[in-house]
Amino acid sequence: MGAPETDKLIGPRATTSLVSRAAPLASAARQLQVLERTGVAPFKATLRPAAVEIFQINVGKLCNMTCRHCHVDAGPDRTAEMMSRETVELCLAALDRTAAATVDITGGAPELNPHFRYLVEQCVRRGKRVIDRCNLTVLLTGPCRDLPAWFAERGVEIVCSLPHYRKRNTDLQRGDGTFEKSIEALERLNAVGYGQGNPRLRLTLMHNPAGAYLAGDRASMEREWKQGLKDNYGVSFDALIALNNMPISRFLEWLEASGNLHAYMETLVNAYNPATVAGLMCRNTLSVGWDGRLYDCDFNQMLELDARYADGERAHIRDFDPARLAARSIVTARHCFGCTAGAGSSCGGAIA
């Protein structure tokens, strides 16, 4: 049985970015205040970083879509927040000073950054495992149409967001027509070898719930999705990961507007699972913002909760200092309950 309709991301089909509407929640400080006012207990776990294994680079907020649940507040209007070539070079220099084996490139739609291919190429040359976080539909836009083959030549791993394997749930979050485009993009990726069990051409789908409830059991969903997408559309993928929706940005706006905010925060807090803490992504990931500011994770980045050295100074890629970063404490707030609920949630999916 599915969730009640009132708990789903329903509403007018199209949305726009909070920034373009000058909505109060465009302010990160306002988002944190709203979460504080829910009255749920503060997040108390003290988190310390482990060795950096994943160097995550958010190259900007520009996106060809404007999904209702977006934690980035990305959209076609977000052209101002775009990582420059100079900052890309600083990222590469910093990467060379870490032992991170994986570079995780995200956005927005990262492929729309003019320096995206250069960044990927440089990371591949360094022997890194490179992940592109792709929204699928961008692969059908003019300058990106050759990307499936380009990725395949370089062995780039693709992690594609697709809210659901059924059309209705996907289009509710992402807009009408998204599902068909996503299927066409999956066909293109399959055509060059992705999603067929080849470890060099790995295609992962990333699911997030279509409403104010936690992600379901990953293994059973993966079986269901594989079957559903193969039988109905003839497309395949290698693995499914499931993320909880974070109560920030546009999903926070929807939670408030639909009257689900308090119940959702209680759901997250009541489902707190201490077994997830050791595997939280903020412990082994360093997140770089489009302007070079450093964060413990992409969620903290959107809330402008900068990583801080032990003396309180904000960390920035231009004065990257691995030893000082290793001595920091991770910045937490109530949104962190989104990562520790149930089986946990991270860019790599469930934790525990």
87 or 300, CB closer to ligand SF4? 300
Q: Does 317 bind ligand SF4 (CB under 6 A)?
A: no
Question: Judged by CB under 6 A, which of 31, 87, 122, 161 binds ligand SF4?
Answer: 161
Question: Judged by CB under 6 A, which of 115, 293, 334, 335 binds ligand SF4?
Answer: 335
- CA count, 13 A, side-chain hemisphere, 174: 27
Give the shortest CB-108-to-ligand SF4 separation in angstroms.
5
Q: Does 182 bind ligand SF4 (CB under 6 A)?
A: no
Give the shortest CB-339-to-ligand SF4 separation in angstroms.
3
200 or 314, CB closer to ligand SF4? 314
Give the shortest CB-109-to-ligand SF4 separation in angstroms.
6
Q: To which residue do tokens 């934690």 refer? A: 71
Residues 21-80 within binding reach of ligand SF4 (CB under 6 A) = 63, 65-67, 70, 72, 74-75
Joined together, the tokens standing for residue 40 give: 């749920």
66 or 113, CB closer to ligand SF4? 66
188 or 335, CB closer to ligand SF4? 335
Size of the site for ligand SF4 (CB under 6 A): 25
* Spacing of C-alpha 101 from chain mean position: 19
In the chain the beta strands, taken as DSSP E runs, fall at 54-58, 102-106, 129-134, 157-161, 203-207, 239-242, 285-288, 294-295
Give the shortest CB-231-to-ligand SF4 separation in angstroms.
26
Q: Can you tell me the distance from the alpha carbon of 206 to that of 134, in angstroms, rounded to the nearest whole number? A: 10
* Spacing of C-alpha 65 from chain mean position: 14
Segment near ligand SF4 (CB under 6 A), from 7-15, 80-88, 102-110, 214-222?
102-110
Q: Can you tell me the distance from the alpha carbon of 100 to that of 109, in angstroms, rounded to the nearest whole number? A: 23
Residues 107-146 within binding reach of ligand SF4 (CB under 6 A) = 107-109, 135
Segment near ligand SF4 (CB under 6 A), from 18-26, 152-160, 233-241, 332-340?
332-340
Q: What residues have CB less than 8 Å from 202, skipping those under 6 apart?
A: 157, 158, 194, 238, 239
Give the shortest CB-191-to-ligand SF4 separation in angstroms.
22
Alpha carbon distances (Å) from 345 to 131, 201, 221: 18, 24, 15
Cβ-count burial of 344 within 10 angstroms (0-12 exposed, 13-18 middle, 19+ buried)?
buried
Cβ-contact 343, 352 below 8 angstroms? yes
Give the shortest CB-72-to-ligand SF4 separation in angstroms.
5
Q: Can you tell me the distance from the alpha carbon of 52 to that of 43, in angstroms, rounded to the nearest whole number? A: 23
Question: Judged by CB under 6 A, which of 286, 336, 341, 350 binds ligand SF4?
Answer: 336
Residue window 273-302: x/- pattern of binding to ligand SF4, with contact defined by CB under 6 A: -------xxx-------------xx-xx--
Q: What is the CA radius of gyration of the chain?
A: 19
Q: Tell me, what amino acid is at 283?
A: R
By CB under 6 A, name the binding residues for ligand SF4.
63, 65-67, 70, 72, 74-75, 107-109, 135, 161, 280-282, 296-297, 299-300, 330, 332, 335-336, 339
